[in-house]
Amino acid sequence: MDRFLRFYLPLLLCVSFCFRCASEGLPGGGPPDKEPPRLILAVPVSGTVGVDSLQTLEFIFSETLNASVAEKNITLFPLGATETRIRVRGRSIQIQPLEPWKKNTVYTLILGKNIADLRNNAIPAPIQISFTRELQIPENSIRGKVVALQEGLVAGIYISRRHSHPDSILAYPEYYTQAAANGSFAFRYLPQEKFYIAGYVDLDKSNTYQPRSDGRLIPQHPYALPDTLESTSFSLLAVHDNFLPPRLLKAQNLHSAATKLEFSKKPDPHGKADAFRITGTEIDTVIYADKSCTLYHGKTESDTLLLHIRGLKDYLQCSMRDSSLKIPQKAPEDTLYRFEQSEKLLIIAPPPESPRLAGKFESVKDTLPLTLVRLVHGIYRIPEHTENRQGHFRIDMPLPPDYPEFAVDTLYRVPMNLSGREDGGTVSGKIGTGSAEPWRMVLENASRRYETSCNDGAFMFSDVLPGSYLLSVYSDRNGNGRLDPGSPRPFMRPEIPVALESGIDVRGRWDTVLSGTYEIEVEKSF
């Protein structure tokens, strides 16, 4: 027995130790861990001067880190200035220089927002550490805020003295940081020189800028000058899309008088009215729906439509290449009429000739007469009702003169929803801007948006449906009556909204007068 223990006991202890090591990982039991890791020790701290030429950087967190994620979210600037080795072990991050830190250089280390613990609780804001071998470090900074950034997304801000083109700045940044959850960011310890600015929204969560998938940040000015004032702020507008030209993906004839187009990006609904042409026909109207649009046009005798697109832009004002293509015209089907309800509109194909369609609306409660009035070719407005109703519209449709040979039933029972009329209220107030620029007020929540101009410092929203709203304002510099996102290249300054007040409760048939005067600070140029 003693011989057995002497031989096997060390082996059993070794196996037991290995199992204990292998079981390290997510803790079991207890309430779920939702706390992000906290930085509890940093060597050196940000702003340290006179660091040793081979100083190892070390950062200790309150929890064990996800090593594979952390290693991909550590960036040292200036890029490529010093080769380093990064090690993430447990709660610790160590960055060892493989060559001496350079003289006359301010290094900035970014620990990105995606750094998380084993339960993927990410740190709430990037951690920025600056240090130098010299005995002095500049105290200048650039501070700002990213506006309209969607929750959960990372915004990367890049600055450079060497490059002014946004794509070059994104490819070869001199300094880099990320916006916190509230959109705020800061670059510290910068020399007093002009820095050009660019940024992106990391939509694909790759931690690198991908032109075809990531959005962009448009700065209020293409450059900024660092200063020592804490109050000076610089704004960037988050645009959750790219600025590549739109492309036509699909063209389909729905029937003799309607053709549907699908694009890679949303077309501009306020663009050129004559952007579309179909040979021998006239475009009656265009209805936009997200990345598609439907053209309603006159009937052609040919079995092929020739579509021309000229001067079309997307909603970011990116121009599409002019193009022409042939589209096969869809032949008539046995079921002559097709119906589609879009909110308070009924779209009928092929379009009836009658300016009014009279029938009966049948619901569980009752049956009532209903008349639809034509807005444009094949589109009829559904009138409001006293309350929301679900039912069917029973109608005897006329036989169209274009298809006299069709022997079809003319009585249709169309599924339809009637919307009840909601009583709205008004919201009014005053602002003071100290500027002659045209300002527009915005009242919005998750489902509704209202805009109005602001004349002589006074504004009023009419027929606002009940709910809780956020009030904001923007300067409509070009006077086109809508919010423009700007452009990175050629640079076009964005119209950045400023939030004024949240939780504005609106009731039906009630006038809401906002007390006091909202003072709007005019943006300062750098």
Residues 100 and 147 both lie in one domain: yes
Rounded to whole angstroms, the Cα distance separating 128 from 5 reads 56
Token reading at 425: 């209220």
* 414 domain-assigned: yes
* 364 domain-assigned: yes
Residues 207 and 129 both lie in one domain: yes
The 3 state secondary structure assigned to 42-91 is EECCCCECCCCCCCCEEEEECCCECHHHHHCCEEEECCCCCCEEEEEECC
* 237 domain-assigned: no
* 64 domain-assigned: yes
Q: Which CATH number belongs to the domain containing residue 455 in this structure?
A: 2.60.40.1120
Q: Which of residues 418, 448, 479 is at a domain's end?
A: 418
Token reading at 287: 């209805």
Q: Residue type for 118, please?
A: L
Residues 58 and 141 both lie in one domain: yes
Residue the block writes with tokens 């003072």: 519
Residues 6+ apart with CB under 8 A from 92: 58, 59, 60, 61
Phi-psi region of 104 (alpha: psi -120 to 50; beta: other; left: phi over 0): left
Nearest CA-CA partner of 394 in 410, 381, 413, 380: 413
Residues 82 and 170 both lie in one domain: yes
Residues 147 and 183 both lie in one domain: yes
**Strand bridging mode 338-342 / 367-376:** unpaired
Residues 399 and 490 both lie in one domain: no
**Strand bridging mode 258-263 / 292-297:** antiparallel
Residues 501 and 402 both lie in one domain: no
Residues 402 and 434 both lie in one domain: no
Nearest CA-CA partner of 463 in 500, 510, 430: 510
Q: Which CATH number belongs to the domain containing residue 289 in this structure?
A: 2.60.40.1220
Whether 18 and 10 have beta carbons less than 8 Å apart is answered as: no
* Burial class of residue 158, CB neighbours in 10 A (0-12, 13-18, 19+): buried
Q: Give strand pairing partners of 198.
A: 158
* 14 domain-assigned: no
pTM reported for the whole predicted model: 0.75
Per-residue pLDDT of the chain (526 residues; tens, 9 = 90+): 444 444 444 444 444 444 334 444 455 555 677 899 999 999 999 999 999 999 999 999 999 999 999 999 999 988 888 999 999 999 999 999 999 999 999 999 999 888 999 999 999 888 999 999 999 998 899 999 999 999 889 999 999 999 999 999 999 888 889 998 899 999 999 888 999 999 999 999 888 899 989 999 999 999 999 988 776 788 999 999 999 999 999 999 988 778 999 999 999 988 887 899 988 677 878 888 899 998 988 777 788 999 999 999 999 999 999 999 999 988 766 557 889 898 899 988 778 888 999 999 999 888 999 999 998 778 899 998 888 899 999 998 877 666 555 545 578 999 999 988 778 999 999 998 777 788 999 999 988 999 999 878 899 999 999 999 999 999 998 888 889 999 998 999 999 998 999 999 999 889 999 988 998 875 543 3
Rounded to whole angstroms, the Cα distance separating 393 from 58 reads 72
Residues 183 and 86 both lie in one domain: yes
Whether 177 and 198 have beta carbons less than 8 Å apart is answered as: no
Residues 319 and 342 both lie in one domain: no
State the total domains in the chain: 4
pLDDT at 335: 57
In 133-289 the beta strands, taken as DSSP E runs, fall at 140-147, 155-160, 175-178, 184-190, 195-201, 215-219, 223-224, 234-239, 248-255, 258-263, 276-278, 283-289
Q: Which of residues 391, 418, 445 is at a domain's end?
A: 418
Domain encompassing residue 158: 49-229
Rounded to whole angstroms, the Cα distance separating 179 from 125 reads 7
Nearest CA-CA partner of 56 in 5, 100, 18: 100
Give CA separation, 357 vs 402, 414, 417, 520, in Å: 18, 13, 16, 51
* 8 domain-assigned: no
DSSP structure class, residue 227: B
**Quick one: how far is CA 161 from the chain centroid?**
29
Q: Which of residues 396, 418, 440 is at a domain's end?
A: 418
**Strand bridging mode 379-381 / 74-77:** unpaired
* 238 domain-assigned: no
Residues 6+ apart with CB under 8 A from 421: 384, 385, 386
Task: Give the DSSP H or E segment for 129.
Answer: strand 127-132
CA dihedral over 350, 355, 359, 360, signed as positive or negative: positive
| Count of C-beta atoms within a 10 Å radius of residue 69 | 18
Residues 67 and 204 both lie in one domain: yes
* 31 domain-assigned: no
pLDDT at 21: 45
Residues 489 and 438 both lie in one domain: yes
In 202-247 the beta strands, taken as DSSP E runs, fall at 215-219, 223-224, 234-239
